[in-house]
Amino acid sequence: MIFSGVPATDGGLEPDSESAPLVHSPLKPAKPEDKFHLAYIIYFTLGVGFLLPWNAFITAVDYFSYVYPEASVDRVFAVVYMLIGLSCLLIIVFYAHKSQAYVRINVGLGLFVVSLLVVPVMDAVYIRGRVGLYDGFYVTVVVVGLAGVADALVQGGLIGAAGELPERYMQAIVAGTAGSGVLVSVLRILTKAVFPQDTDGLRKSANLYFSTSIVVMVICIVLYNVVHRLPIMKYYKELKMEAVEEEKEEKGPLTGPVWRATLWNIVGTVKWYGFGIILLYVVTLSIFPGYITEDVHSLILRDWYPVLLITGYNVFDLVGKSLTAVYLLENAKVAIAACVVRLLFFPLFIGCLHGPQFFRTEIPVSILTCLLGLTNGYLTSVLMILAPKSVQLQHAETAGIVIVLFLVIGLASGSVIAWFWVI
């Protein structure tokens, strides 16, 4: 069985438990409350934030394609962003134990702001709507790569840090990533309805995407540096430090061969969760957004059709990632099996291109797109929550980073397969 070795539960924690799997000293202070759900809200906002830069670059592709008509903008952006992000994550996985997540995340957030500032500033002082100034394109590709570095630092750090906390904080971050997609979809609808699709309108749209992202990133920097001062966060940090000290007493410092052996044990423990994540995003990215924006058409909705389909996907992705706050599927085997079942989306979407006439209409395509988003959201949230809880507390951060690595592999693989699967 391919699922052998996958734990059926989340490693011993109850779904709503906010305690770590350690025996507490009778003298240890009681766990503080998350007053006004402030820590949850901050983690949700951070989830929104770290995907906004990528969404800004991709959503502004109309502007970039107009200014640089000879360049394959979307393909180049995707390859540069994902390959650089993947390379940085590999480095982070091996050296995470020698660095602090707090530093990595702050550096990454700062790099996000820098990369987002370049495009509107360059448009204002150099491009000014003129076509064919490819020096600007090369600079844009560089800042896309810089954003890829920032993504690895921030996403790896945040998911890793959330892995050490109760499940609700991982759920908050994952739901925030879906909230980012919804926010961008709303901005896309707004700009399409308000701005004309000419040079001036495309410039205004792009500047709105990047300005909004910059504002959100600055808010994220402030909130992230606030959240560490909250009593509940200090409480869980102390629990981790106790677990680390206990392990040092048993095994000695985690350096050299000891750390490599520990890392491979962590990878072995979470590998099937990673398999599920890869499969999820191979299916999703093979279909969304390429199939939706290029392969299906509507005589009624015309160029609004892909915009509305993308919005529908993003809304249901958010619904799916929010459902784990209500009910968390604890059986990892069932969750991974559901990821395999999602392969059925391939023949179903092919049917929307080549099947009976009814399947080629707006209703079946819309329903399937919403189901794609719903299942992607729920199963992503389940696997991201369960994976770090399958290892010891002191290794939860590394497990979280490893899961992000699997996630990026799935995203990259799905993006490549998207060019080949539609017949």
Amino acid identity, residue 71?
A
Q: Whose structure tokens read 């090369």?
A: 138
Q: How far apart are CA 81 and CA 79, in angstroms?
A: 6
Burial of 268 (0-12, 13-18, 19+ CB in 10 A): exposed
pLDDT band at 27 (very low <50, low <70, confident <90, very high): low
Q: How far apart are CA 262 and CA 266, in angstroms?
A: 6
**Comparison of pLDDT for 388 and 256, the residue scoring more:** 388
- Average pLDDT along the chain: 88
Where do the H-state alpha helices sit in 299-361? 304-323, 332-341, 345-354
Q: Is the pLDDT of residue 22 over 70?
A: no
pLDDT band at 422 (very low <50, low <70, confident <90, very high): low
User: What's the distance, CA 332 to chain centroid?
Assistant: 20
pLDDT band at 281 (very low <50, low <70, confident <90, very high): very high
Structure tokens at 283: 């299916």
Mean pLDDT of 12-21: 42
Q: Whose structure tokens read 């560490």?
A: 228
Q: DSSP assignment, residue 132? A: -
User: Are the C-beta atoms of residues 212 and 60 closer than 8 Å to each other?
Assistant: no
pLDDT band at 10 (very low <50, low <70, confident <90, very high): very low
Distances (CA, A) of 94 to 89, 263, 396, 407: 9, 8, 14, 17
Mean pLDDT of 230-257: 84
Ordered domains of the chain (ranges, CATH): 35-417 (1.20.1250.20)
Mean pLDDT of 301-322: 91
Closest CA to 209 of 85, 120, 132, 274: 120
Q: State pLDDT tens for residues 175-229.
A: 999 999 999 999 999 998 999 888 899 999 999 999 999 999 999 999 999 998 9
Q: State pLDDT tens for residues 76-127.
A: 888 899 889 999 999 998 887 778 889 999 999 999 999 999 999 999 999 9
Closest CA to 372 of 423, 300, 296, 303: 296
pTM above 0.85, yes or no: yes
